[in-house]
Amino acid sequence: MTRRAFLFTCIALVLANRFDRRGFSGTESPHPRIETIRKTPEEWKALLTPEQYRVLRQEGTEPPHSSPLLKNKDKGLYVCAGCELPLFTSEMKYDSHTGWPSFYTSIQGRLDTKPDHKLIHLRTEYHCARCGGHQGHLFDDGPRPTYQRWCNNGVALKFIGMIK
């Protein structure tokens, strides 16, 4: 990792933590506690586009190669489209050649996982820790150092570019 990449990652993580600094729960987790957001289906429909609602609230999947974020190489943060909780930095993104934005890790404490039994084989699904919005699936075929592929629906994310 270059010095510039290291500094950017540090700055991005500090900024990400400022979005949701609620204090630590000394006995449960070393990560800031994420206060959850609850809305009715009608409130979510008013806030999201129909495609965002289908993916975030109904656990849908967007078509591969349909997201403009797939080819985005700008520096910044990827936040949940439902509640703007920072989930990934641009330094965590890589091209997995799958047709969906992919990351080799996430900002710790920002995503919850659960088993997904919808297909023949078991997968791991992940959701935003704040609003519960479905983001994508976690696979173990990613690059070093984590060997993880956080395969995200682009419509479930917003990109906030770094100010130059």
- Does 10 participate in catalysis according to the annotation? no
Q: Rounded CA gap, 93 and 102, in Å?
A: 6
Query: Which position among 80, 83, 128, 151 bears the catalytic label?
Result: 151
Q: Rounded CA gap, 138 and 152, in Å?
A: 9
- Strand spans (E) along the chain: 76-80, 86-89, 93-94, 102-103, 111-116, 123-128, 134-139, 149-152, 157-161
Rounded alpha-carbon distances, angstroms, from residue 29 to 25, 32, 33, 86, 147: 6, 8, 8, 18, 24
Active site (catalytic) residues = 151
